[in-house]
Amino acid sequence: MTENTLLLPPSGIGQVITRFGADLLVETNGFGLLRCTARRKLDHIACGDHVQWERQAQGNAVVTSILPRRNVLERPDFRGKLRAIAANIDLLVVVASWQPAPVWEMLDRYVIAARRLSADVLLVMNKSDLRARLSTAEDEACLQEYLQVGVEILHVSAGQREGIGEILAATGERTAIVVGQSGVGKSSIANCLLPDENIRVGTIAETGEGRHTTTSATLYRLPSGGLLIDSPGVRDFGLTGLDFATLEAGFPEFAPFLGECRFHNCTHNHEPGCAIKAAVSAGNIPARRFSRYLSLLGNL
C-alpha cells in the first residue's frame, strides 16, 4: 500500500486498474492504488470496472460489488468460455497500415464490434510514409466510404512519431483501447501514447504483485486526460458471437432503408423486393461495403 492508503476509510469506490486472477489493483478516489481480492461471485470483474470495496478486520481489502457497466468486451478463454477483459469503453482505436495491406473486412468487424459496444471508432492508418507508394485506388475509395459512414480517420507514422498528438486529441477524455490485425503497429502506437508506461508498471510492482504479465489488461492515464486500456490480448480480440442483428446494425448506411424490404426478416441477400439491394443498385449504398456485408453474412 502507498502512504495514502494508510488513511483509507472503511469502504469506498474505485476503478480496476488491472487484475491477476482473484487479485485486483483498484485506483481509489484520492488514496492511490489498493490491492484487493474479489469475492467468488465476482469472478467476471474486468479492467476498467468501477467497483465498491471494503477494508477487512485483518487489514486487507475486498471488492464487494461491481457498479453498473456501460459495456464489456469479452473474448474466449482456452476453454472457449467468454471472459470479460475490459469494461466501460468509449472508443476503439482501430489500427491498420499500408504494410501489411489493409484487410477491409477485418476493419468492418472492428466497426461492428464498436457499434455493439455503443463505442466510437477512430481508424488510425499507420505507416503513412508508405501511403503514396502502396495505396491503391481501391484502398482510397474504401477509406472515403468509411468517412461517409461516420468513421474518423487519422494518418500517422508511429515509427517516426508523427500523428501521435492527433490521436491523443481525438481521444480526449474518453476511455480507449487499441485494436487491429497483426503487424500493423499496434504496440508501437500504444507505446507512443504511453511514454510513462514504465512508471505504471513500477507502481504495480511496488504493491508486491509479482505476476504482472503482458496478458493482463491494464488501465493507463493519458496525457490528454483520457484513459487507455492496453493488453496484447485486448489488441488482438476478434468479433465473437456475431448474429444477424449485430451484423446489420454494423452497417449504418443500411439504416435509412431498413423496414422497407418486402419481407420483415429479409437478410438482404437472395430475397426479392429488398430495399437494401435496391439502394446498392441506385448507388445509395457503396457496392464494396455491401459485398463485404454479404461475405460476413455467409460466415454467420
pLDDT in tens, 209-218: 433 334 578 9
Q: Select from 166, 145, 148 the least CA-distant residue to 157.
A: 166
Co-location of 267 and 201 in the same domain: no
Co-location of 122 and 201 in the same domain: yes
Co-location of 101 and 200 in the same domain: yes
Residue 47 vs residues 237, 241, 251: alpha-carbon distances, Å: 15, 21, 29
Co-location of 230 and 281 in the same domain: no
Q: Is 157:186 a contact under the CB 8 Å cutoff? A: no
Co-location of 152 and 122 in the same domain: yes
Q: Select from 69, 18, 1 the least CA-distant residue to 219.
A: 18
Co-location of 213 and 256 in the same domain: no
Q: How far apart are the first and last CA of the chain?
A: 48
Residue length of the chain: 300
136, part of any domain: yes
Last residue of a domain, one of 206, 235, 264: 235
Co-location of 253 and 291 in the same domain: yes
1, containing H or E segment? none
Number of domains in the chain: 3
80, part of any domain: no
- The CA distance from 128 to 145, in Å, is 19
pLDDT in the model for residue 82:
82
Q: Which domain holds residue 275?
A: 244-298
102, containing H or E segment? none
Last residue of a domain, one of 184, 218, 235: 235
Co-location of 142 and 191 in the same domain: yes
Co-location of 92 and 40 in the same domain: no
**Percent of the residues in the chain that have a pLDDT greater than 90, as a whole number:** 64
Pure H helices in 173-286: 186-193, 197-206, 232-235, 244-249, 275-281
Q: How confident is the model at residue 172 (pLDDT cuts 50, 70, 90)?
A: very high
Co-location of 127 and 185 in the same domain: yes
Co-location of 149 and 226 in the same domain: yes
Residue 296 vs residues 245, 280, 292: alpha-carbon distances, Å: 12, 17, 6
Rg (CA), the chain: 22
Residue 181 vs residues 80, 117, 234, 295: alpha-carbon distances, Å: 21, 19, 11, 18
User: What's the predicted TM-score (pTM) here?
Assistant: 0.86
Q: Name the least confident of 5-9, 218-222, 294-298.
A: 5-9
Helix (H, G, I), strand (E, B) or coil at 222: coil
